[in-house]
Amino acid sequence: MYIRGGGFDQTLLLIDGMKMDDIQTGHHTLNLLLPIQLIERIEIIKGSASRIFGQNAFNGAINIVTKSLPKFDKKQFEMLVSNPTFGSFKQFGFLINSRLSLKEKFNAQLTFSRSKSDGYRYNTDYSNDFFFFKSEIKTQKNPIIISSGFTEKKFGANGFYASPSATDQYEETQASFLGISTLLGSEKFLIRPKLYWRRGQDEYIYIRNNPSVYRNLHKTNKIYLDFSFSKLFDSSRLNFGIDLSNSSISSNNLGDHNRFTTSLYADYTFKTNDNKLSFSPGLSISNFSDMSTHFFPGIDVGFDFNEKINLYANYGKTYRIPTYTDLYYSDRNTIGNPDLNPEHAITNEIGIKYSNENIDFTSSFFTRKSSNIIDYVKQSEQEKWEATNIRNLDTNGFDLNFLYKISPHNSLRLGYTYLFDKSYVSEVNYSRYAINSLRHQLNTRLALKYSNKITHTLINRFGERSNKVSHIVYDSNLKYQLSENSYFFINVNNIFNEEYYETNLVPMPGRNFLIGVISYFE
């Protein structure tokens, strides 16, 4: 997962506003990805988001908002066994969804899903289990919301880490969270307290059938207490808050470490008298008990020409603190660096939005000047790779998103991003870091409705990396509506069997298919 060319450590993931960052490594960011049936919407902030969300929102943030629980006027319990799926590489999956209502006093939903496969090549099999629980407890004013999730993944990691020749790697991960939140205050002054906990566990085995050769086990815990406040005025709004967190890791490789973080943030939004021009200056201050204090200001400006056209611009400073892997990891070829400094960047963006009944269009130009980028370097071939703050990296880019509503049920969506990276390195003979992001990325999606029951989506994905290697992948998704709350689907991915690679030269799957039934509660 990345935004505008950043790495997996530089994008922050949230679930209902709760941060899901992993202090061991950003590799585990998506371990708590929710089934689509639970998701109401996905909010994406591109560019600097540190003044809003704090550390690690270096290139942006993604907030997954779960669906609200339905309210019933009677006691009720329902269970739905659904989503049987079958596909290439012996893919198989299902989902069990249940919900309970005790009139207006208590509502809850519990979901379990499982997916597994033999893998698309040697030692890429996987088995994933996921649990999700959400409840609302009725109070005199606003409900108390309790949510939690747990996932366990077991998978062969052929070439995922180390080098492509390491074909027998294996990994098991666990991730879980538990959170409680509510809404307090009055119409003009709102308080949103959140208390939540995230846990991670990662077991890595270099040779799957012989763990004694090399094995790592990491366990992480992080507890957050977040108070956010909103004061509403006639033509402005003040948001401010405090975020406290305590994190710890216990690892046979990285050691045992603790960190306490205090963050203060504020953002003030106001408009001119004609409501055309808006300003939103803000700042964030964070102190890390084992590192230092950082101050990050930013500002957003918007101008409405009319109801259809909006111009916007923003400026911000952002940062990412090193993960514990960056700081302390050690093996026969690599060594961490406990003296690493956080990565810093200054970002600027200017853009335009246009919208009418049939067209939605957004386009922007952005720059990011990064310093202290963490790289793994060495001076001779005999030395180990060592994590070092060595690079400055300037990134310029352009992106656009276009939606054309051909008719009420047919549409064409297009998204394009162009990136140009310029790196500055001195006094280094060997560098592991290679700028090989997607310089050109074009995604198109054509949605067609053939009848009241049949819909078809055609997807095209084009990418060209900085080294000029490119790929074009075509996917197809055909749906047949079985009822108001269920449909049968056939997905065919990589229709023309394109050969292409992801990070670390990992080959992606060739042509494959998946069929199944998706069902929702009413």
Give pLDDT, residue 55: 67
Give pLDDT, residue 281: 93
Task: Please give the residue that has the higher pLDDT: either 427 or 19.
Answer: 19
Give pLDDT, residue 461: 96
**Taking 60 as the threshold, does the pLDDT of residue 520 lie above it?**
yes
What is the distance between the alpha carbons of residues 489 and 479, in angstroms, rounded to a whole number? 4
pLDDT range class, residue 274, cuts 50, 70, 90: confident
Summarize the confidence of residues 443-454 as an average pLDDT. Answer: 96
Give pLDDT, residue 425: 59
Give pLDDT, residue 119: 94
**Taking 60 as the threshold, does the pLDDT of residue 426 lie above it?**
no
Query: What tokens does 107 get?
Result: 């509502």
SS3 455: strand
**Taking 70 as the threshold, does the pLDDT of residue 31 lie above it?**
yes
Least confident stretch, 97-106, 275-284, 305-314: 97-106
Least confident stretch, 24-33, 177-186, 421-430: 421-430
Give pLDDT, residue 85: 93
Give pLDDT, residue 121: 93
Looking at the DSSP assignment, which residues form a beta bridge with residue 462?
A: 442, 472
Give pLDDT, residue 503: 63
Summarize the confidence of residues 261-271 as an average pLDDT. Answer: 93
pLDDT range class, residue 94, cuts 50, 70, 90: very high
pLDDT range class, residue 293, cuts 50, 70, 90: confident
In a domain? residue 2: no
Share above pLDDT 90 across residues of the chain, in percent, rounded to a whole number: 58
In a domain? residue 433: yes
Q: Are 370 and 421 in contact (CB under 8 A)?
A: no
pTM above 0.85, yes or no: yes
In a domain? residue 3: no
**Taking 80 as the threshold, does the pLDDT of residue 155 lie above it?**
yes
Give pLDDT, residue 239: 93
Give pLDDT, residue 106: 87
Give pLDDT, residue 102: 83
Long-range Cβ contact pairs of 501-506 (< 8 A, separation 24 or more): 501/469, 504/159, 504/160, 504/161, 504/164, 505/159, 505/164, 506/159, 506/160, 506/164
Q: What share of the chain is helix, strand, coil (3-state, %, to 5)?
A: 5, 65, 30
Q: Are 280 and 259 in contact (CB under 8 A)?
A: no
Choose among 417, 289, 286, 304: nearest CA to 353: 304
What is the distance between the alpha carbons of residues 277 and 313, in angstroms, rounded to a whole number? 12
**Taking 90 as the threshold, does the pLDDT of residue 458 lie above it?**
yes
Burial of 505 (0-12, 13-18, 19+ CB in 10 A): exposed
Summarize the confidence of residues 162-167 as an average pLDDT. Answer: 78
Q: Which amino acid is at 348?
A: N
Q: Which residues form the domain of 140?
A: 8-519
What is the distance between the alpha carbons of residues 130 and 150, in angstroms, rounded to a whole number? 6
pLDDT range class, residue 184, cuts 50, 70, 90: very high
In a domain? residue 91: yes
Read off the pLDDT of residues 215-254 as tens digits, 9 standing for 90 and up: 999 999 999 999 999 999 988 999 999 999 999 999 999 9
In a domain? residue 61: yes
Indicate which CATH number applies to the domain containing 163: 2.40.170.20
SS3 443: strand
In 33-125, DSSP assigns E strands to 39-46, 60-66, 75-87, 91-102, 106-117
Give pLDDT, residue 250: 96
Mean pLDDT of the chain: 89
**Taking 90 as the threshold, does the pLDDT of residue 290 lie above it?**
no
Least confident stretch, 110-119, 124-133, 319-328, 489-498: 319-328
**Taking 70 as the threshold, does the pLDDT of residue 427 lie above it?**
no
Give pLDDT, residue 437: 72
**Taking 60 as the threshold, does the pLDDT of residue 358 lie above it?**
yes
In a domain? residue 133: yes
Task: Please give the residue that has the higher pLDDT: either 292 or 328.
Answer: 328
Task: Please give the residue that has the higher pLDDT: either 112 or 3.
Answer: 112
Read off the pLDDT of residues 365-395 as tens digits, 9 standing for 90 and up: 999 898 888 887 887 777 888 888 876 788 8
Summarize the confidence of residues 93-100 as an average pLDDT. Answer: 90
pLDDT range class, residue 50, cuts 50, 70, 90: low
**Taking 60 as the threshold, does the pLDDT of residue 268 lie above it?**
yes
Q: How many domains does the chain have?
A: 1
What is the distance between the alpha carbons of residues 294 and 346, in angstroms, rounded to a whole number? 14
Query: What tokens does 441 get?
Result: 């990325």
